[in-house]
């Protein structure tokens, strides 16, 4: 499954304003709550926060990836945002975050969940990609960048 198969323009926000880690996660949850595969937005919120409390999802390089395996979704869902101003996220490298992905997959899809996390990690590993994501002015630029990167690494 590719990121471009589960992301839509409606679930991408560029220049999102957020004051804190909690604000970022809550806004990302609001962004994804209208997704047709979200069956229970309240449970999704609880499960994402439960995972976040176990360990910060600030994966480094100014990227955060809040996620959950949850029965609150019927199929994988993904939201993406860039932040207007970087926020502290308790990241593994201590850097504030300005790129955020929110991923939720059904509990029964563990392998797919891990593959999607891997795809996102690979996507943002390159500094040039992160710079393009932050510089994007239009949602279509983000989707096109995802498509181009998935051509480079089709088998992840």
For the chain, percent of residues with pLDDT exceeding 70: 97
pLDDT digits (tens, 9 = 90+) for 41-84: 999 999 999 999 999 899 999 999 999 999 999 999 999 999 99
**What does pTM read for this prediction?**
0.93
CATH number for the domain formed by residue range(s) 3-152: 3.40.930.10
What value does the mean pLDDT take over residues 110-139? 92
Nearest to 74 by CA among 41, 27, 116: 41
Residue 75: predicted pLDDT: 96
Considering Cα of 26, then 29, then 33, then 34, what sign does the dihedral take?
Answer: positive
What is the pLDDT, as a whole number, of residue 32? 95
Q: Is the pLDDT of residue 8 over 60?
A: yes
Q: Is 11 exposed, middle or buried (0-12, 13-18, 19+ CB in 10 A)?
A: buried
**Can you tell me the distance from the alpha carbon of 36 to that of 61, in angstroms, rounded to the nearest whole number?**
31
């Amino acid at each position: 499954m590719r990121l471009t198969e589960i992301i839509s323009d409606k679930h991408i926000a560029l220049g999102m304003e957020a004051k804190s880690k909690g604000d970022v996660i809550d806004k990302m949850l609001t962004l994804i709550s209208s997704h047709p595969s979200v069956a229970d937005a309240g449970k999704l919120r609880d499960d994402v926060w439960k995972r976040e409390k176990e360990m910060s999802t600030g994966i480094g390089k100014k990227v955060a990836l809040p996620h959950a395996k949850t029965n609150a979704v019927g199929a994988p869902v993904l939201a993406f945002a860039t932040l207007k101003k970087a926020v502290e996220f308790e990241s593994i490298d201590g850097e504030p975050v300005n790129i955020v992905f929110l991923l939720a997959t059904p509990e029964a899809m563990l392998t797919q969940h891990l593959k999607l996390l891997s795809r996102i990690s690979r996507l943002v590993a390159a500094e040039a990609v992160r710079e393009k994501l932050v510089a994007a002015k239009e949602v279509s630029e983000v989707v096109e960048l995802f498509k181009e990167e998935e051509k480079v690494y089709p088998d992840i």
